[in-house]
Structure 1
């Protein structure tokens, strides 16, 4: 009788464990690419998370911006940076072999390899291909490619970019630009597809699928959509369009990319008054709730660069990362990661941010990194 009772209890405990795992799998904090992971995958991520110190977990949430050259492996290791963003200076007057060697040295020093990102949008924003030592001609803008060859040409161009980046050791292209702009006077026009919501939605989905096929990360930007907003690199920009206008136009390419499996979305610093009249989108809980609950996005949310002028009016320079985490971001893009890292660590230690909140973001990041074969 005792043996039967013991077996019954053991079976019940197994069922309970499976039930709890299933519950976790349906929690957006445990998923990315809008799918449900296996119980084994979830357990593996939890094990990784348990092995990490608080400092390592906080580091995973930072995308260090290196405006002046390639970071040293020691810098990446010191701050446990989960991601690095490279600019033109990392490639100017260098060749492929030296860049591959430098990025390999960064990977070799990290227990979990970092996401290595660039903005290789094509056209006016090319960090690498406008250096002749890397490519005979820069990648053309999506607008130019689409005009000459339609969506098939866009897909081919995406595969070409992915192969180009992968060869160097880069695993995330901060593209596609999903902003809708058909007015040449708009700040974002030169970087956009220059088409309406329907065609831009097809573009977002096509680029996302091509990146998933090539196992290169992509990022839908700049949510909730620039429209005709001004440049937020220099200062504040206010978008006064209604939420209905956004839902019927600007949200659509992001939703299409999300439905296609996009692993990340970058949020802009625009103030969109119909969504939050007091805070930039990047620092607004209301905007992040739209992404999570209205658009069912369960992947990684990335801030636009927190060093940009539009942020300084709303959060002290050393606290912008703390504010961004509280808004719902997972990866904090900044060149001031040394000070911001300390501020986040202090915020967790004094109870402003819970370690559970940090864990939620790091789960998403680790799931994405697992998809990218970074550990």
Structure 2
């Protein structure tokens, strides 16, 4: 039920018990866990030695300013570069989106990461946290590029996670730092921000991450705490049968329901299958909060495990990879 964060570049002794605790499904890695490709590969191997091969390893490796592993990996441009290309050459943008996704996914799979929380399906409409992480302001363009990105991730052996449902791009606030409210009607949200998510679901994305934004015309709870958004709309109206992930419970906007235990419960009660506890200081309390919870359905979580990937040596000797990297990195302004 939980994906937890670790403290540093090596697995600490006290973290062994956290990894093997009931309710822990995976680990999310950040820049604080990265020093080099060799080091992070060894850390991933150590996590699996302690917790077993079934534990999920994930990361935010979007490109641009949200790329946790940099040295030794392809420096990927932000997703907005794909949107800019689409304005002049839609066909090329679709090709580059697939290649961007394949590069990211294949590099992560080569070191043992199961999946990245990608693609960002939010619209580029001025949000402080999203910015150039989004593909485009136009819902139709973003939808087309989201589908291409999901295809590329799948070709790289990686599950796709659409974020931040039902759309974080049209509010100003950064939910890491403050609460965010979107007062628009359900009709307006469906006609705009939700379209890239619908497209990603049609492309068979395996998971959706719910936003901490409150959409007051639909429900008085943030989407990740909302039975209406998760069970009635996402699963009911949109027919999504995959994994729903609650965004990090350490974020400021997650505090609307109370402390750590209340946040975990609110996510799970609303219908989330996995909850992110990204910062080590909240992990013990989050684990305590799930000890008497029913486990999330295995059939929703299992598809997040990565397909068999290339070794790093095999990857770097792939001439197709060189062509993809040359084309994608040329998009950086």
- Give the TM-score, by structure 2 length: 0.82
Q: Map 1:235-254 to 2 at 5 A.
A: 235-254=178-197
1:64 aligns with 2:4: yes
Tell me if 1:171 matches 2:111.
Answer: no
Which structure shows the bigger proportion of residues in helix conformation? 1
How far is the alpha carbon of 1:337 from its aligned partner?
A: 2.5
Counting only pairs closer than 5 Å after superposition, residues 53-202 of structure 1 correspond to structure 2 as 61-66=1-6, 68-72=8-12, 74-80=16-22, 81-91=24-34, 94-129=35-70, 132=71, 134-135=72-73, 138-148=75-85, 149-183=92-126, 187-202=129-144
Q: 2: CA distance between counterparts of 1:307 and 1:205? A: 30
Deviates more, 1:304-313 or 1:112-121: 112-121
2:97/2:152 contact within 8 Å kept: no
- Do the aligned partners of residues 62 and 85 (structure 1) sit closer, same or farther apart at CA in structure 2, a change above 3 Å counting? same
* 1:170-207 superposed Cα distances (whole Å, 9 cap, x missing partner): 11111100001244x65422211123111111111111
Alignment partner, residue 364 of structure 1? 300
* Kept after mapping to 2: 8 A contact 1:285/1:328: yes
| 2:255 counterpart residue number | 312
Q: Does 1:268 align with 2:211?
A: yes
* Secondary structure in 1 matching 2:164: strand
In structure 2, the residue matched to 1:303 is: 246
Once the 2 structures are TM-superposed, how far is the Cα of residue 146 of structure 1 from its aligned partner?
Answer: 4.0
Contact 2:129–2:175, Cα closer than 8 Å, also in 1: no
Q: Residues 268 and 180 of structure 1: is their aligned pair in 2 closer, same or farther, counting only changes over 3 Å?
A: same
TM-score normalised per structure 1? 0.73
CA distance in 1, matches of 2:271, 2:77: 34
> Displacement, 1:76?
4.8
Match of 1:342 among 278, 288, 293: 288
Q: How many residues align?
A: 295
Deviation per CA, 1:259-313: give whole Å up to 9, x if none: 111000000100011220x211111111102110111110000011011111212
Q: Distance in 1 between matches of 2:258 and 2:142?
A: 33
Cα distance in 2 between the residues matched to 1:127 and 1:203: 23
Root-mean-square deviation over aligned CA pairs: 2.1
Show structure 2 runs of 5+ residues with no match.
86-91, 310-333
* Conservation of the 8 A alpha-carbon contact between 2:20 and 2:50: no
Mapped contact 2:83–2:142 kept (Cα < 8 A): no
Range moving further from structure 2, 196-205 or 62-71: 62-71
SS at match of 1:313: helix
